Structure formats: C-alpha cells, structure tokens
Amino acid sequence: MIPSRAVIALGGNAMTAPDGSARPDDQRSALTAAMEHVADLIAGGTEVVITHGNGPQVGNLLVKNELAADVVPPVTLDWCGAQTQATIGFTIADALESALARRGRPRPVSAVVTRTLVDAADPAFDRPAKPVGRYLPRREAERFAALGQDWADFGERGWRRVVPSPQPREILDAPAVRALLAAGVVPVAAGGGGVPVARDGSGTLHGVQAVLDKDRTAALLACALGAEALVIATDVPCAVLDYGTAAARPIGRTTAGELRAHLTGGHFAEGSMGPKVEAAVRFVEAGGRRAVITGLDGVAAGLAGRAGTVVEPDPRP
C-alpha cells in the first residue's frame, strides 16, 4: 500500500549537475527534473513534505565569505543555512507547481525557513569535525583561523574548515508545516537539516555555528508530522553491505533491527551512507511504517515497497 503522507529527503544529486557543479542554471535544471518524480507521487494521492540537503550551496557561500572577508564581514553558518533554505525552497516551489499544473493537479507549494533546536551542551560543540567548504593552503587557512574558525589539515589536499554537527532535537517550526498541510499546501521544510538554534540560560533562542545532518533531521521531521513513510533519495539505488569489496551485496527489504545490527557492525561510512541508514532506522523505531533509501527514479516504487532498501518494523513477538 502507498503511504498517505511521506517525507521526501532530497540529496545533493537532486540539486546539482551530474558532474557535481552547482551553478544556478545547474541547480534549476536538476530540481526541475527531481520535481517530476515528486509530482508523480502527489498526483497519485500521496501527501508529500519535501526536505533537502544544502552542502554545495553552503560551500558556495563560504567561498564568497573567504574571497570577500577583507571587504564585508563573513556571515555565520546559521545565516548560510537560512539563505540556502530560502533559495532552494523557492526554486523547488516554482518547479513543483509547474510539474503539478502539467498533470492537471495544481497545488500551491511553500517553503518554510525552518529552525531546528539543538542542545547547547551537545559534545559535538567541543569536537568540531564536520568538513565544510573548499580546501585551502595552510597560510590562507590560518587567516580564517585567526577569525575564530576551526581548520584541519587534510594532507595533500590542503586544509579545510571543520564545524560542529550536533544532533537535531526538535523541529521548532513543525506547527507551521502542519498548518500548510492542513491548508492543502505542499511544504518544503528543514532544508539542510534546518537552521541550528539553541537556547541560552534565559531560554532565548539564538543561532549557532554548526551544520546539521539533513537525513537525521528528516527522520525527526517525519515523526513530528506523523508521516507514515520517509524516503531518502540519494545517488545510489539502495544501501549496500561490504561496499567496495568483492562481497558487496545490496540490501532490499529489511527490518529496523536487522539494519541497526549492520550499522553497529560498521558497514556504513559516517560521511556517506551511515547517517542515511541511521535516519531510516530511527524513523521506523519511532513508529514510522516504512523508510526507504533509493535513487530519485525509484521513489514511487520504493514507497510501494518494491525498490531500494525498504526498512520496516521488526515483527512483533
């Protein structure tokens, strides 16, 4: 059965050209193609909420920070996240509304600049480890380190900025997303994992210098909205055990318990498939009916349980 409500998490491949370039025209073309798949789902009767990554876009803003640092003050990561949410969000809205109109199923689409709450005491803030932006020679990296940034030596490739990546705790703007759904609007929300915010001692919210994993936030968003399914659309058709070895084998239909055992066993890299698998497992363990990891062209079949890595609850004793 096709779930009635699903959160679709678009990976970077849905927003860049096949070679990874992220010029504005590349992003518009890629998102236009991606929205054809999403429009098919909506036309088929599934209520959809869209979320997305923003790595290439934030990377571009960081390069602008670097090049203009002596002219205008660099903007913080929370600002970068908010700016890219808005840019990607309105581009998705334009593309999806057009795709739905061509199918004779016009629907409004609206992007919500979404805040995601993190714990100010999250250990990630003491150990910045998430690389962002481009590689630079040591001398240039030291210039930005003098501005208070953390940079790490990545060997022959150069130095790269590293930032905290705390766990997402709450989607603060979930009520706005629910209101849009109730009004018949297709929401685009929590892009790039959301703008990371924390509370100070008085309870006041403020943005923090961090990036959030968009798949982990997607699982949190899906739970907050009562979605039946979470689809993580990436650049491969499914998760794979023993990836890159002669023993590699794809994972089709599985349970949350089985997949968590593989995750604990170290089968999935933290910088690639690991967060996707973790998000899928978290969602199903929290009560979701089905999580799917698949390519964009497999989203509809994945929702029906016929393509990709399909994660379902463990059988009851």
For residue 47, what are the contacts with CB-CB under 8 A and spacing of at least 6? 4, 5, 6, 181
Tell me which residue has tokens 């805040």. 115
Cα–Cα distance for residue pair 196/179, rounded to 1 Å: 22
Cα–Cα distance for residue pair 59/55, rounded to 1 Å: 6
Q: What is the DSSP letter of 71?
A: T
Let me know if 60 is a catalytic residue.
Answer: no
Which position among 11, 54, 191, 276 bears the catalytic label?
Answer: 276
What 3-state DSSP class applies to 3? coil
Cα–Cα distance for residue pair 151/136, rounded to 1 Å: 10
Which position among 11, 12, 53, 194 bears the catalytic label?
Answer: 12
Let me know if 13 is a catalytic residue.
Answer: yes
Q: Which two tokens stand for residue 241?
A: 């055990």
Which position among 55, 60, 130, 308 bears the catalytic label?
Answer: 130
Which position among 11, 13, 53, 54 bears the catalytic label?
Answer: 13
Tell me which residue has tokens 């964009």. 296
Which amino acid is it at 72? V
Let me know if 214 is a catalytic residue.
Answer: yes
Which position among 54, 214, 295, 308 bears the catalytic label?
Answer: 214
Alpha-helical (H) ranges within 212-272 are: 214-224, 256-264
The string of DSSP letters for 292-314 reads: EEEEGGGHHHHHTTSSSEEEEPP
Tell me which residue has tokens 């969000």. 89
Beta strand 229-234 with 151-153 is: unpaired
Q: What number of H helices and E strands is found in the chain? A: 9, 17
Q: What is the phi/psi pair of residue 272, to 5°?
A: -140, -90
Encode burial over 195-228: b for 16+ CB neighbours within 10 A, e otherwise.
Answer: bbbbeeeeeeeebbbbbbbbbbbbbbbbbbbebb
| SS percent in the chain: helix, strand, coil, step 5 | 40, 20, 35
Positions marked active-site: 12-13, 130, 214, 276
